[in-house]
Amino acid sequence: MATACVKRAYRYRFYPTDAQAAELSRTFGCVRKVYNLALAARTEAWARQERVNYNATSAMLTAWKKTEELAYLNEVSSVRLQQTLRHLQTAFTHFFAKRAKYPRFKSLKKSRMSAEYTTSGFRFRDGKLTLAKMAEPLDIVWSRPLPQGVEPSTVTVSQDAAGRWFVSMLCEDPGVRHLAATSAAVGIDVGLDHLLTLSTGEKIANPRHERRDRARLALAQRRLAKKAKGSANRAKARREVARIHARITDRRRDVLHKLTTRLVRENQTLVIEDLTVRNMVKNRSLARAISDAAWSDFRSMLEYKAAWYGREVIAVDRFFPSSRLCSACGALAGTMPLHVRTWTCGCGATHDRDVNAAKNLLAAGRAVSACGAGVRPQRRTPGGQSATKQEIHGATRGTSRL
């Protein structure tokens, strides 16, 4: 059985001492300060039509440390400050390559608090992790062991809005084995009524994690709105709102991890639809339900797990009319509003809308795999809209079911 060496991040929760929490908080603040200073310097240079690279900002950091105003930067690990300059360089690289927008300044309230350490900034011995500028190792909850003989190449420490501390260790894992090849293939149609519908006819219910906690979240948000700005009670109320959001996110990711792992283990080929979720959430009536379903996270997990274990994921063109195409005879039906859940083709075959779409996706995926060609629509729906856009637009009439 073939093996592959992949980079995997192992994330654990830890509980810092008061001294460690203070040191990490100082580090987060210095990281944010250096990032904003370097971004401001590069923005000013950009206005003068000058280019400033990582080496130039690294020299600036040395000069900043020598000033009286920024002398406190010497109190934290220099490794982390250099890393934030590398991250800024990467952000500009993506911007120049038109893969991302122009880098933004880090805000104390909105930015994720994190610090990344390379091998010179931490010590990992006998299963204990000690960061630079710290005398004691972190009190980590080892929910799962690291692979035998594997040591982290980088360590990222973060604190979420709910006040929880996490450490993420990036490792080169040489022991990831490809699963035994199988002839099984499955088409996967995502939705809101059911989270997934498989070409086998199986339907997986949508847990609707956000809706389950919606009343509790709304109450916490109302309490937060009534607190005086800048008060300790407002900070407590903000953490309560963050804890509810964290609870929803953790449940959602747990379900998606279990689903994607199961699908990858059972099937050699997995066919999905290439949806543009970023555009679909612009529909204000469905944005909350689509975001709660987390279709983008599902696809991301499916793709990287398939790459690990030697499976194949095929994305069929988003304009392919999977719902309106008869999986029995291939006839294309006319406009089909979203409230139509079953329909009968002229050949006499009666279809469940979602199961039929999954079967068509599987057939199209097999065609793509065989000839390497993309799947384009046979024709657009009336009015020039794609089939996907038509369904999302028509779904506004049934939002009460979401």
Q: What is the pLDDT of residues 308-330, one digit of tens each?
A: 888 999 998 888 888 888 888 88
Task: Tell me what pLDDT residue 395 has.
Answer: 43
Name the residue among 258, 325, 252, 359 with its Cα closest to residue 295: 252
Residue with tokens 């040395």: 62
Q: What is the pLDDT of residues 15-65, one digit of tens each?
A: 999 999 999 999 999 999 999 999 999 999 988 988 889 999 999 999 999
Task: Tell me what pLDDT residue 2 has.
Answer: 64
Q: What share of the chain in percent tops pLDDT 70?
A: 90
Whether 161 and 245 have beta carbons less than 8 Å apart is answered as yes
Average pLDDT of every residue of the chain: 86
Tokens of 266: 């059972």
Task: Tell me what pLDDT residue 332 has.
Answer: 85
Q: Residue 391: how many CA atoms within 13 Å on its side-chain side? A: 22
Determine whether 147 is exposed, middle or buried from the number of CB atoms within 10 Å of its CB (0-12, 13-18, 19+).
middle
Backbone angles phi, psi at 39, to 5 degrees: -65, -40
**Average pLDDT score over residue span 370-391:** 45
- Range in 57-71, 215-229, 304-318 the model is least confident about: 304-318
Name the residue among 267, 248, 342, 251 with its Cα closest to residue 310: 267
**Average pLDDT score over residue span 166-171:** 94
CA distance 58 to 87: 12
Axis crossing angle, helix 54-66 with helix 18-47, rounded to the nearest 10: 120
- Any alpha helices (H) in 199-344, and if so which ranges? 209-212, 214-226, 232-266, 277-280, 287-293, 295-308
Radius of gyration in angstroms for the set of CA atoms belonging to the chain, rounded to a whole number: 25
Amino acid 99 reads R
Q: What angle do CA 60, 65, 69 make, to 5 degrees?
A: 110
From its phi and psi, is residue 335 left (phi > 0), alpha (psi between -120 and 50) or beta? beta
What residues act catalytically? 189, 273, 354
Alpha carbon of residue 214 to chain centroid: 22
Band of residue 390 on the pLDDT scale cut at 50, 70, 90: very low
- Beta strand extents in 118-254 (DSSP E only): 122-125, 128-131, 140-141, 152-159, 165-177, 185-190, 194-198, 203-205
Tokens of 329: 């005879």
Backbone angles phi, psi at 271, to 5 degrees: -115, 125
Segment holding 34, helix H or strand E:
helix 18-47
Q: What share of the chain in percent tops pLDDT 90?
A: 56
Using CA atoms of 220, 222, 226, 231 in order, give the dihedral in degrees to the nearest 10. 30
Q: What is the pLDDT of residues 366-378, one digit of tens each?
A: 887 776 544 443 3
Q: What is the pTM of this model?
A: 0.81
